[in-house]
Amino acid sequence: MRKLVIMLAVLGLFAAFPGASAGPSAGGYSSDNVEFVEFIPFEAGTATGANFWKQGKDHYMIITSWKDFTIYNINTPESPEMISKTPFGFKFENEDVPTNGEIMLFSETLPQSILHIWNVEDVTNPVQIAQLPGAGQHTTSCVLDCKWAYGSSGAITDLRNPAKPKLMKEKWSDGLPPHGGYHDVTEVKKGIVLTSSSPMLLLDARKDPVHPKLIAMGEQFDGNGLDFHSNIWPRNMKDRWVLTSGETCCGAEQCTPETSAGWSTWDTKGWQKTNTLKKVDIYHAYQGTVQDGGGVASAPFGCSPHWFTTQPGWKNGGVAAIGWYNSGTRFLEVNSKGKIKEVGWFLPHGGGTSAAYFINKEIVYAVDYQRGLDVLRFSGK
């Protein structure tokens, strides 16, 4: 009986941690269901985000930084092949580079506000075809197949002739309920936009992109006073859950629910009648060591979730990979009731992970401000 009690206690101890450590690798520490595959270096402190498209039989990825952007062929996901690298001098911050495979939008806020429009059809030689002063905001997103663009702070750009873009005098936020903490907008279905703001706003831009119609809102959610960062409504709004991340700013922090941003699930059931999205659950990174997967807090964003994606096969739940700054890449599972639990993690050596992208059911690209690109293999469900 005493042996049984001891065994149960040991099992309980292991259950307290989301995943047993596989120990250090050349890339970092990870749970035993996450394997480090390859590291592709970038200039320190600049790799911010990525986007993906298909051109013929080839699959491409573009990664942006504060000084250049790089295009890779990812037909072999385990080993991205660099196709071209385009320097442009210092431009901040261009985290989210939208593209339809023909044009790519590059939003600059420092040293000035400019929206840059690039033609990327020739992946070996991207060409800037236009610049639009005043349209650059923290993030800019394509709407209606990049015929229009929405900036995070309300800017609307007419891109029907991308070589001659026009900044509208109207803002997509005009006439809408007061909202704060906006960081990004996501086209969750063609012409339907969900804002990463408090509260979230669901807008219909299909008939009139210059005057989008408000069709739903998220419940008011202060997230401990933390701004919304990004959102996903999987399967073109067919999914039960909207997923959101927050971002803590600014100053030193500890990995606790009281001091750091979280990753949340929102219930969409009946939204057409209630016009409301309801928060279900929120997950925070935990303070710890690299051996147990705990985040190591550091200013200014140590324990914040950032850009994320869902695993192929997601349907009313599944696994998401989240770039979580100094907490690395976190793998979170959402069950059929919208509840969240951690099922894996990767903490790079000396990293600050900005984004995590499922390329297929196993391969994940972790884009890191301080390192570059880590290629991971997730073997969990």
Output the pLDDT for position 144.
98
Spatial neighbors of 354 by CB under 8 A, at least 6 apart, are 47, 48, 49, 95, 306, 307, 323, 325, 367, 368, 369
For residues 86 and 101, the answer to whether their CB atoms sit within 8 Å is: no
Residues 41 and 53 in one domain: no
Each of the 381 residues of the chain gets a pLDDT tens digit; together they read 433 333 333 333 333 345 567 668 889 999 999 999 999 988 756 888 899 999 999 999 999 988 899 999 999 999 999 999 999 888 887 788 899 999 999 999 888 999 999 999 999 999 999 999 999 999 999 999 999 999 999 999 999 999 999 999 999 999 998 777 678 999 999 999 999 988 899 999 999 999 999 999 998 765 554 568 999 999 999 999 999 998 876 554 567 777 788 999 999 999 999 999 999 999 988 877 777 777 665 655 567 899 999 999 999 999 999 999 888 999 999 999 999 999 999 999 888 899 999 999 999 999 998 889 999 999 986
The predicted structure's pLDDT at residue 8: 35
Q: What is the pLDDT of residue 13?
A: 36
The three-state secondary structure class of 7 is helix
Based on the domain organization, do 285 and 354 belong to the same domain? Answer: yes
Structural domain includes residue 179: no
Q: How many CB atoms lie within 10 A of CB 45?
A: 14
- Structural domain includes residue 192: yes
Distances (CA, A) of 152 to 43, 103, 176, 272, 368: 27, 19, 14, 25, 22
Q: How far is CA 199 from CA 40, 65, 79, 241, in A?
A: 38, 30, 40, 16
Looking at residue 75, which CATH number applies to its domain? 2.130.10.10
Total domains, the chain: 2
Q: What is the pLDDT of residue 257?
A: 76
Q: Kind of pairing, strands 276-283 and 213-218?
A: parallel
CB-CB contact of 153 with 134 (8 Å) = no
Q: Which helix (H) or strand (E) holds 59?
A: strand 58-64
Q: Is 15 helix (H, G, I), strand (E, B) or coil?
A: helix
Would you say residue 1 lies in a domain? Answer: no
Boundary (domain end) residue, out of 140, 171, 202: 171
**What's at 276, amino acid-wise?**
T
| Alpha-carbon span 99 to 84, nearest angstrom | 16
Domain housing 370: 18-46+184-381
CB 137 within 8 A of CB 149: no
Give the count of beta carbons closer than 10 Å to the beta carbon of residue 53.
Answer: 16
200 and 344 belong to one structural domain: yes
Q: C-alpha angle 244/352/294, rounded to 5°? A: 75
pTM of the model: 0.92
State the pLDDT at residue 228.
85
57 and 146, same domain (yes or no): yes
Q: What is the dihedral of CA 133, 135, 137, 140, to 10 degrees?
A: -130
For residues 64 and 50, the answer to whether their CB atoms sit within 8 Å is yes
The three-class DSSP label of residue 221 is coil
Do 80 and 137 share a domain, yes or no?
yes
Residues 54 and 35 in one domain: no
User: Under 8 Å CB-to-CB from 104, ≥6 apart: which residues?
Assistant: 51, 62, 69, 97, 98, 117, 118, 119, 120, 126
pLDDT at position 248:
78
pLDDT recorded at residue 224: 54
